[in-house]
Structure 1
Amino acid sequence: MSGTLEQLRKSMSRNRQARAPRASATGRSGRAEQVLDLDRYVPALITFIANKLSRSATVVYQKRFGVNVTEWRILSLLAIEPEISAARICHVIGFDKGPVSRTLAGMEERGLVSIRADRQDGRTHSISLTAKGYTTHDQVIAVALERERRLLSCLSKPERETLIGLLLRVHGNLDAVKGAGEVDEA
């Protein structure tokens, strides 16, 4: 284990011990009886990693290419799947329709995407990259792949493959938590 990771784990362990609930005379400390172990709670780990990656990506991509991370996600998806609907974009990247629609409108204004009424169904729209969108995509992808390489450089090739496989399995299991914790009203 790297020294930095070991230091982080020790620091987190000390912080948890310092925050451990102490019983009061009434048997309650005024604190939660149960707390998350944030270095073992997978949803938190995934969220923290995603937030930090997104924030740093937006800084780099905005400064160098004039796009934020949401715009980059849309550019990369449209390079893979040209002429798709906003609903498809929402489904793949996991965003709500409102933010995606606003982002697409801004991208269209800047000439990165083209939005046209679908030929078969005039109610839906087909979205595709423009020449400028493809050029921007081709510039950003080199930086995105280098960022991924650096992020995963602490893993061996077999570990990277295992990580990808596990993440795909977890992603495929997201429906298992839809509605979890909601109260069924009969």
Structure 2
Amino acid sequence: MDLHDLLGYLIHRTDVKMTNYFTKVLKPYGITPEQWSIISVLSSQRGTTQKELAEAIDKNQTTVVRMIHSMERKSIVKKVFNEQDRRSHYLFLTEKGEEIKKTILSVVKDAHHVVSSNLSKREIQQLKSLLNKLYDTRY
């Protein structure tokens, strides 16, 4: 079987290329693609827990803890203790985090248009559907 016939290879190759492009586009703003995913989630789901965030961005909690610490040092994210459960806390974007989101949202949209420019709107919808089907496959 040829390597280019393997879905896993094609998906990984595409992911690497898109991630590298996205990394390059976000670098001037001091944000990584993973940090952008956190900013995006916290912007729409204010007061989320680390566990909820990990599920939303499909990363393990240990990785998310490291990412949050880094973003706290940059004053992008803040933690607020959960009054009902002092072992957990809620995550919020800081004012700086909100400003970063506003600043780079158009950059993110432009990057999306660049990477999907060879596809029609219908093809984009089909691709999303197919990728979600692959992701939801139980094995």
Task: Give the TM-score of the pair, scaled to structure 1.
Answer: 0.69
Aligned length: 139
1:2-25 deviation line (CA, Å, top 9, x unaligned): xxxxxxxxxxxxxxxxxxxxxxxx
Once residues 75 and 50 of structure 2 are traced to their aligned partners in structure 1, the CA distance between those partners, rounded to angstroms, is 17
CA RMSD of aligned residues (A): 1.5
- Relative to its length, the structure with more helix (as a share) is 2
1:111-155 deviation line (CA, Å, top 9, x unaligned): 101112112221111001111101101222211111111211111
Once residues 12 and 86 of structure 2 are traced to their aligned partners in structure 1, the CA distance between those partners, rounded to angstroms, is 38
Task: Give 2:9's aligned residue.
Answer: 44
- Deviating above 4 A after TM superposition, structure 1's stretches of 4 or more consecutive aligned residues are none
**Aligned AA (1:142):** S
Pick aligned residue for 1:79 from 13, 26, 43: 43
Structure 1 unmatched runs, 5+: 1-35, 178-186
Seq. identity, %: 25
Task: Give the TM-score of the pair, scaled to structure 2.
Answer: 0.90
Task: Give 1:58's aligned residue.
Answer: 23
- Which gives a bigger RCO, structure 1 or 2 (Cα 8 Å, sep 6+)? 2
**Aligned AA (2:30):** G
Structure 2 unmatched runs, 5+: none
The correspondence of residues 1-186 of structure 1 with structure 2, limited to 5 A, is 37-63=2-28, 65-173=29-137, 176-177=138-139
Higher alpha-carbon Rg: 1
